[in-house]
């Protein structure tokens, strides 16, 4: 197996302390948002044998196994991350596979450079994802019932929000949500800035369930995403709890440290809370305008001690082991590729001792035994 050297992405919303604390190193003072583990070309993990994507390109069946290659092609199907939100991430949604393929092909045909700021599709893959909390973790996920969103907005007492409140009481609910989000994203910027300022002042004054939106406005003054965020369910995860996000579900992470796994893609369509490009027509095509009740996932234990987070996706499977002192070794040998990530203690993967934040790649079919004490996340595929 290969010990991984991983890139930490310094996005502006990242925490300055959470990832350094996990790794047991001194903070640099700069934001550290995401540590990537995998073979995504944007920041592939490195090994003593070379970069992980180069190893896989040279011998896909040897590294990934026949099952994975037959099911997902000659690339690692998932990307594993440690995510540390010190400030809110952009309000966003991800395309399904057909939308991603069509969008990527259209932008390639149009000759839009892959790194262009107005480029929407960076690859031809979908991006379902799962976030598992390591600390208390705050987020927004899926649309509230429109009547609940209307009550939240109405309580602010802002005259310019009344048209949105009225729209949210219309039927059918899906059409009401679509109309309100469209109106927010296409409103006159100066008028919207004034509305957001009034709403933020009222939210700060009211506190309680309105307090998070005053905080959003502090980070993103004048951004229509502050109002759009009130259309979504607010979710708090406790350590060990997780949230699955499928295609078209609007969401944003607000604060906390977590382990995130996703299909190997970087396709993001943004609704707000960002200075980056927002492609309103494409966003409205991708978003699923339906009220949802976010299902908080808790792991299901197996006799081997593996605790699995059940999701309806085959490109990734996330589980964890919480190993007490004296626990018997666990055989993890598998015909599919694996990444093992330690987050506590000093467990051993084979002969490799892992400190918190350290990880290894286990090629398909390679013997792998987990021993020692601590907590280890296991990322693999269903194939």
Q: Which tens digits make up the pLDDT trace of 201-228?
A: 999 999 999 999 999 999 999 999 999 9
Round the CA-based radius of gyration of the chain to a whole number and report it: 22
**What does the DSSP assignment read for 117-173?**
TT---SSS----EEEEESS-EEEEEEEPPHHHHHHHHHTT--GGGHHHHHHHTSSSH
Query: How far apart, in whole angstroms, are the C-alpha atoms of residue 14 and residue 243?
Result: 20
Please answer whether residues 371 and 6 qualify as being in contact, where contact means their C-beta atoms are separated by less than 8 angstroms: no
Residue pLDDT, tens place only, 111-153: 999 989 999 998 999 999 999 999 999 999 999 999 999 999 9
Question: Which residue, among 382, 380, 332, 276, has the nearest Cα to 38 in the 3D structure?
Answer: 380
Q: What is the pLDDT of residue 303?
A: 85
Which residues lie closer than 8 Å to 50 by C-beta, 6 or more apart?
Answer: none
Average pLDDT of 23-45? 95
Residue pLDDT, tens place only, 360-381: 999 999 999 999 999 999 999 9
Please answer whether residues 1 and 368 qualify as being in contact, where contact means their C-beta atoms are separated by less than 8 angstroms: yes
Question: Which residue, among 215, 213, 243, 218, has the nearest Cα to 228 in the 3D structure?
Answer: 213
Catalytic residue of the set 46, 75, 270, 323: 270
Please answer whether residues 146 and 169 qualify as being in contact, where contact means their C-beta atoms are separated by less than 8 angstroms: yes
Residue pLDDT, tens place only, 316-365: 999 999 999 999 999 999 999 999 999 999 999 999 999 999 999 999 99
- Cβ burial, residue 182 (10 Å; 0-12/13-18/19+): middle
Residue pLDDT, tens place only, 55-110: 999 999 999 999 999 999 999 999 999 999 999 999 999 999 999 999 999 999 99
Question: Which residue, among 229, 224, 276, 275, has the nearest Cα to 251 in the 3D structure?
Answer: 229
Tell me if residue 63 falls in helix, strand or coil. helix
- Cβ burial, residue 205 (10 Å; 0-12/13-18/19+): exposed
Please answer whether residues 83 and 9 qualify as being in contact, where contact means their C-beta atoms are separated by less than 8 angstroms: no
Query: How far apart, in whole angstroms, are the C-alpha atoms of residue 210 and residue 202?
Result: 8
The first and second tokens of residue 155, run together, are 């309580």
What's the half-sphere exposure (Cβ side, CA atoms, 13 Å) at 45? 27
Q: Give the predicted TM-score (pTM) of the model.
A: 0.93
Active site residue 234: no
**What are the CA-CA distances from residue 137 to residues 113, 168, 241, 320, 379 (Å)?**
35, 29, 9, 18, 21
Residue pLDDT, tens place only, 148-184: 999 999 999 999 999 999 999 998 999 999 999 999 9
Give the pLDDT band of residue 42 (cuts 50, 70, 90).
Answer: confident
Backbone angles phi, psi at 51, to 5 degrees: -65, 150
Residue pLDDT, tens place only, 224-260: 999 999 999 999 999 999 999 999 999 999 999 999 9
Query: How far apart, in whole angstroms, are the C-alpha atoms of residue 46 and residue 37?
Result: 9
Q: Taking 90 as the threshold, does the pLDDT of residue 383 lie above it?
A: no
Q: Taking 90 as the threshold, does the pLDDT of residue 275 lie above it?
A: no
Query: How far apart, in whole angstroms, are the C-alpha atoms of residue 247 and residue 312?
Result: 12
Average pLDDT of 31-44? 94
Please answer whether residues 69 and 50 qualify as being in contact, where contact means their C-beta atoms are separated by less than 8 angstroms: no
Q: What is the pLDDT of residue 304?
A: 85
Instruction: Tally the residues of the chain.
Output: 383
**What are the CA-CA distances from residue 378 to residues 132, 227, 260 (Å)?**
12, 38, 12
Tell me if residue 249 falls in helix, strand or coil. coil
């Amino acid at each position: 197996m290969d010990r991984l050297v991983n890139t930490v992405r310094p996005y502006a919303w990242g925490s300055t302390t959470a990832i350094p604390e996990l790794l047991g190193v001194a903070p640099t003072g700069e934001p550290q948002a995401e540590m990537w583990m995998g073979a995504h070309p944007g920041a592939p993990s490195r090994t003593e044998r070379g970069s992980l994507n180069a190893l896989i390109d040279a011998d896909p069946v040897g590294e990934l196994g026949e099952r994975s290659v037959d099911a997902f092609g000659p690339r690692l199907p998932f990307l594993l991350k440690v995510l540390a939100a010190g400030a809110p991430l952009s309000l966003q949604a991800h395309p399904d596979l057909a939308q991603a393929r069509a969008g990527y092909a259209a932008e390639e045909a149009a000759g839009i450079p892959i790194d262009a700021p107005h480029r929407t599709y960076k690859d031809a893959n979908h991006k379902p994802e799962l976030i598992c909390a390591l600390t208390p973790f705050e987020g927004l996920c899926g649309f509230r019932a429109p009547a609940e969103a209307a009550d939240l907005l109405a309580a602010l007492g802002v005259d310019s929000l009344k048209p949105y409140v009225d729209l949210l009481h219309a039927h059918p609910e899906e059409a009401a949500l679509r109309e309100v989000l469209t109106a927010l994203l296409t409103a006159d910027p100066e008028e919207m800035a004034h509305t957001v300022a009034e709403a933020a002042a009222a939210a700060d004054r009211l506190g309680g369930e309105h307090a998070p939106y005053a905080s959003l406005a502090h980070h993103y003054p004048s951004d229509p995403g502050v109002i759009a965020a009130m259309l979504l369910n607010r979710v708090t995860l406790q350590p060990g709890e997780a949230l699955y996000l499928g295609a078209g579900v609007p969401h944003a992470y607000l604060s906390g440290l977590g382990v995130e796994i996703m299909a190997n893609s970087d396709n993001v369509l943004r609704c707000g809370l960002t200075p980056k490009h927002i492609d309103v027509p494409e966003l409205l095509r991708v978003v699923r305008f339906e009220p949802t009740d976010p299902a908080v996932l808790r792991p299901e234990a197996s006799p081997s001690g593996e605790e699995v987070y059940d999701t309806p996706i085959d490109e990734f499977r996330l589980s964890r082991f919480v190993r007490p002192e004296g626990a018997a070794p666990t055989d993890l040998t598998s015909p599919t590729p694996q990444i093992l990530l330690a987050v506590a203690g000093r467990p051993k993967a084979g002969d490799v001792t892992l400190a918190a934040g350290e990880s290894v790649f286990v090629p398909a079919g390679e013997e792998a035994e987990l021993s020692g004490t601590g907590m280890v996340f296991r990322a693999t595929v269903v194939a």
